[in-house]
Amino acid sequence: MGSNQQDNQNQMAGSLTFPGSSNVQAVSEQPRQPRNLQGLLRFAMEATKIEDATGESQIGPMDEERRKFLEEALKNLTVNVSEVLREAIKVLANTEVMHAIQLGQALPEEVQTAFDNLLDFTDNIDMAVDFYKMGGFSIFPVCYGSENEKVRARASSVLGELCQNNPFCQVCLSS
């Protein structure tokens, strides 16, 4: 009965038990926990050694055709934001183009693209400041002089985007 009573003492919350003093097993030594990034990297590399590729890597010089392809692909993935802003300013500051858009007429593709690009990039405060420094605020008198309501509305959207939470552009607009 004494042994049964000791078993009852080792039981907690139904089926959970904890080892008695006679059942203690030695725990294998755990690896030292990393204390810095270098240690974390070493730990991760050791832990994932099994997952490493078994074959030899075949890294060698790149042929000219592949190099040109990769350069072209990377060039197409990046955008020169300053150039995009300059092109948009050039299109929207062109008085002949902007005044040729009649009341109720749909916006030409290049004008629509210019407004879209400005709205995409000038939400960044630094780009908005760069837009001003490039002379971008010169588009507003031209756009507001257009009889087309879509041009005036899109120009107002750009102006709102430029000045939203941007003290520099707010001061520039008011002066």
Q: Is residue 116 part of a domain?
A: yes
Q: Is residue 76 part of a domain?
A: no
The span from the CA of 60 to the CA of 66, in Å, is 12
For residue 117, pLDDT beyond 70: yes
Q: Is residue 7 part of a domain?
A: no
pLDDT at 79: 84
Number of domains into which the chain is organized: 1
Q: Is residue 113 part of a domain?
A: yes
Beta-bridge partner residues of 11: 17
User: Helix or strand or coil: residue 63?
Assistant: coil
Residues above pLDDT 90, as percent of the chain: 38
Bigger pLDDT: 115 vs 47: 115
User: Helix or strand or coil: residue 53?
Assistant: coil
Q: Is residue 153 part of a domain?
A: yes
103 CB-side CA count, 13 A:
2
Among 43, 3, 36, 48, which residue's Cα sits nearest to residue 22? 3
User: Helix or strand or coil: residue 17?
Assistant: strand
Query: pLDDT class for 3, splitting at 50, 70, 90?
Result: low
- The range of the structural domain enclosing residue 109 comes to 85-174
pLDDT at 111: 94
pLDDT at 108: 92
Q: Is residue 139 part of a domain?
A: yes
**pLDDT 10s digits, 146-162:** 999 999 999 999 999 99
pLDDT at 18: 54
Query: pLDDT class for 9, splitting at 50, 70, 90?
Result: low
Q: Where are the alpha helices (H) located in the chain, listed in sequence order?
A: 2-10, 37-47, 64-77, 81-92, 95-100, 109-121, 125-133, 139-144, 149-163, 167-174
pLDDT at 66: 87
Integer CA distances (angstroms), 63 to 3, 67, 68, 93, in order:
79, 6, 9, 46
Q: Is residue 136 part of a domain?
A: yes
Bigger pLDDT: 44 vs 82: 82
If you ran DSSP here, which 8-state letter would residue 78 be given?
-
The chain-wide mean pLDDT, for the chain, equals 81
**pLDDT 10s digits, 54-110:** 666 666 788 899 888 888 888 888 888 999 999 999 999 999 988 888 888 899 999
Buried b (16+ CB within 10 A) or exposed e, 26-41: eeeeeeeeeeeeeeee
| Average pLDDT for 32-57 | 75
Residues 6+ apart with CB under 8 A from 154: 107, 115, 143
Q: Is residue 47 part of a domain?
A: no
